Amino acid sequence: MIRNDDLGYPIVIGNSLRSELRHFLHDRDTDVVVLADRNVAPLAERLTKGTRGGVIVHRFDLGERRKTLATLERILDVLIESGVERTTTIVGVGGGVACDLFGLAASLCMRGLDYIGVATTLVAMADAAIGGKTGVNLARGKNLAGTFAQPRAVFCELDALRTLPYARLREGLAEVVKAAIIEGGRFFSLLEEVAALPFRAWPWAEIVEESVKVKTMYVADDRTEQGARETLNLGHTFAHAIERASHYRVSHGAAVAVGLRAAGLAALKTGRFSRIEHGRVLTLLALLGLPLRTGVDPSEILASLSADKKRRNGRLRFVLPLAIGDVEPGVEVPTRVVRSVIEACVTPPSAREFV
């Protein structure tokens, strides 16, 4: 079992965390209400069995399309009906959608109840459960309503990864590669070492630990996202433009993988990044089965980027890699370079780009 306290509360990473969770809840000595994504309700039952007061697991059908105000209201209704008081602790079990929705419900219910997150997807462990951002989607866009609310603890239950479909794991792997480019060193070379192994042989505890460390490092100094946290958006300006231009048919993880290639190319074309390191990033993404090209029309991606620019006072800034382990936020890239990068990302990399 691994524990990270960088954010002032425990982030616990390990397999079969039932006794750790039970001890934590026992020490808090409050009533507990458990909320779970229906797909992991049996796991939530196992993890919270024997908790003081005979816990009931409330199940919700979630998924990105249900990350709405309507679902939020249903969750709040269940909390109120189950008789929560100001001292009740809410435990939320599930992936990133569960983290965002249950965390938001806890932060709003009776003006804020204590919350503990149990992450069951790689995206949740490496990203969504860490840092205290909660939210729902509105008709006009993703995550447009939400709060900053730090949990009392986060448990990354690695056993959950065994039941996760590959497509979901891949979403998380794109974020893990992003974190490894930011961190560099042992983290990046570890991924290179294990990339060709079957997932059951991966050192998941270490990989989640490293990913969490990168996230906490930037969140710790910037909890409300005023500056340093921007670094975590490596590859994401391109990725968000691809997602929007595809009307969200391209998944976030796939868009991030292409976005990491695009950021590498932009850095390469502006003399910031070496061809060899760019090739290492591409090789790793390819070994993990992540896409390196997008079928979305480049002019649509550019239009989406320009719309983004308007929203940010006419300045479009990128986070670019200078080296594996060294990235620079807030880089203004000339439009012609941005255009050529996007045009390049419509075709697979040539052998030369891999070198």
Ligand X SMILES: NC(=O)c1ccc[n+]([C@@H]2O[C@H](COP(=O)([O-])OP(=O)(O)OC[C@H]3O[C@@H](n4cnc5c(N)ncnc54)[C@H](O)[C@@H]3O)[C@@H](O)[C@H]2O)c1
Closer Cβ to ligand X, 121 or 304, answer by number: 121
How big is the CA angle at 108 (ends 24 and 114), to the nearest 5 degrees? Answer: 10
Closer Cβ to ligand X, 68 or 189, answer by number: 68
Query: Quick one: tokens of 167?
Result: 């497509």
Q: Which residues bind ligand X (CB under 6 A)?
A: 37, 39-40, 62-64, 67, 94-98, 100, 120-121, 123-124, 127-128, 131, 133, 143, 160, 163-164, 168, 171
Rounded-to-integer distance, Cα 282 and Cα 276, Å: 10
3-state secondary structure 17-44: CHHHHHHHHHHHCCCEEEEEEHHHHHHH
| In the complex, minimum distance from the CB of residue 71 to ligand X, in angstroms, rounded to a whole number | 12
| In the complex, minimum distance from the CB of residue 339 to ligand X, in angstroms, rounded to a whole number | 28
| In the complex, minimum distance from the CB of residue 45 to ligand X, in angstroms, rounded to a whole number | 14
Nearest residue to ligand X on Cβ basis: 96
Rounded-to-integer distance, Cα 92 and Cα 101, Å: 9
Rounded-to-integer distance, Cα 209 and Cα 14, Å: 9
| In the complex, minimum distance from the CB of residue 96 to ligand X, in angstroms, rounded to a whole number | 2
Closer Cβ to ligand X, 124 or 316, answer by number: 124
| In the complex, minimum distance from the CB of residue 355 to ligand X, in angstroms, rounded to a whole number | 33
Closer Cβ to ligand X, 94 or 259, answer by number: 94
Whole-number CA gyration radius for the chain: 20
Query: Quick one: tokens of 54?
Result: 């005979």
| In the complex, minimum distance from the CB of residue 88 to ligand X, in angstroms, rounded to a whole number | 22
Phi/psi-derived region of residue 275, left when phi > 0, alpha when psi is between -120 and 50, beta in every other case: alpha
Query: Quick one: tokens of 282?
Result: 């591409």
Closer Cβ to ligand X, 160 or 268, answer by number: 160
CA distances from 282 to 37, 142, 192, 288, 349 (A): 34, 28, 11, 10, 8
Closer Cβ to ligand X, 210 or 353, answer by number: 210
Q: Are strands 32-37 and 2-4 parallel, antiparallel or unpaired?
A: unpaired
Q: If you ran DSSP here, which 8-state letter would residue 16 be given?
A: -
| In the complex, minimum distance from the CB of residue 338 to ligand X, in angstroms, rounded to a whole number | 25
Closer Cβ to ligand X, 84 or 239, answer by number: 239
